Chain A
Amino acid sequence: MEYLIGIQGQDFVLVAADNIAANSIIQMKQDQDKMFKLSDKILLLCVGEAGDTVQFAEYIQKNIQLYKMRNGYELSPKAAANFTRKNLADYLRSRTPYHVNLLLAGFDETDGPGLYYMDHLSALAKAPFAAHGYGAYLTLSILDRYYRPDLTRDEAVDLLKKCIEELNKRFILNLPSFSVRLIDKEGIHDLEKLMPVGAK
């Protein structure tokens, strides 16, 4: 029901998430933010089971901040992703696994932009583009077809819009708005919310 998407460019990562917080068949909230700021240049997008999402994401968020306090420098996006995956893996075979699907997006001084895909089975993959949710079935092929590693910011936003228009057209559920953020060497930037209008 929930949807996450990430697109990596040459020197930025563009991410978007839907804004619906649902309970059974009811939309409880239409402006839910599913992105968690791990540091100045790292965002964690988190969807999945109620409760697990916020609890796990905040746990990772606080631990990343604690690392910075203890050691004087921040974890890189790659290290943060691996840390997150390790936590998922440790809990996977416990009595209380976290049923969450994640995208971690960040910008590293040395390595540049990075997008990491993680799922509830504790898989981790660095990918040029990725999506979670039923919506991923509809949009991954669009990303396969039109993605190029040298996308500009505007082109990436256009590609994102293509994906969201497809959801609006074919996805059975109504997802009226999406939060969009961009990470580059300057940090995290909030872009305009995307609100697809009417089916074509």
Chain B
Amino acid sequence: LNPGKIEFLHGTTTLAFKFQHGVIVAVDSRATAGSYIASQTVKKVIEINPYLLGTMAGGAADCSFWERLLARQCRVYELRNKERISVAAASKLLANMVYQYKGMGLSMGTMVCGWDKTGPGLYYVDSEGNRVCGDLFAVGSGSMYAYGIVDSGLKQKDLTVEEACDLGRRAIYQATYRDAYSGGQVNLYHVHSEGWTRVSQSDVLMLHQQYQAEKA
């Protein structure tokens, strides 16, 4: 425990928020090793199953490994109970799995997003043992910048799917603008009652040109 030290999660910006028509999930795609950019094309959204998504922040290996294990557990649940697993249960499975390794150096900050019979679901789970349900989360070194955009954008009531996608995309773009450890492309997903859809992949530099032109 170190109350004085602010620990940023490793280079990344991921966000997810609930709105009237489901959940928007937006992530960047940069991977850094210290100050070296290792990759600009990392897939930070893990497709657990056709109606559940997981985001990746922290150690890439930790996230993909544990979420893949989660996908397996979700499938086993489906086979045993003859019904889809709820977002709450899926996130609890993940939280309990990583809690066993608390203090041993796992680094994972993920959002479990989906749609189950209670409607849209969004949970934040991390390697510290946190598990919280909420309407909006941003995770990673660029998260604070993203919060600023989404919090102010969500104040306007009732977004359409298009508006919500734009908001998510814009928030990641703004975060990559300010955070050196985030960048690459913005990958955007929309989770609705039928499952998830991959909405778009936009290069951050192209978005920059587009937004600059709009300003003029």
Contacts and interface: CB of A to CB of B under 8 A. Distances in A.
A26 B132 contact: no
Interface string A108-150: 0000000000000000000000000000000000000000000
A24 B7 contact: yes
Interface residues of B, number: 21
A23 B132 CA distance: 11
A182 B21 CA distance: 38
A50 B129 contact: yes
A51 B6 CA distance: 18
Contacts of A191: none
Contacts of A26: 143-144, 147
Contact of A50 (B6, B128, B137): B128
A29 B7 contact: no
A9 B7 CA distance: 42
Contacts of A55: 99, 129
A23 B58 CA distance: 14
Interface of B: 1, 6-8, 95, 99, 102-103, 124, 126, 128-134, 137, 143-144, 147
Closest 4 CB pairs of A and B: A51-B129, A50-B128, A50-B130, A29-B132
8 contacts: A25-B144, A26-B143, A49-B1, A49-B129, A51-B130, A54-B129, A96-B102, A96-B103
Given A51-B95, A51-B130, A55-B99, 8 more contacts: A25-B144, A26-B144, A28-B124, A28-B132, A50-B128, A52-B102, A54-B129, A99-B1
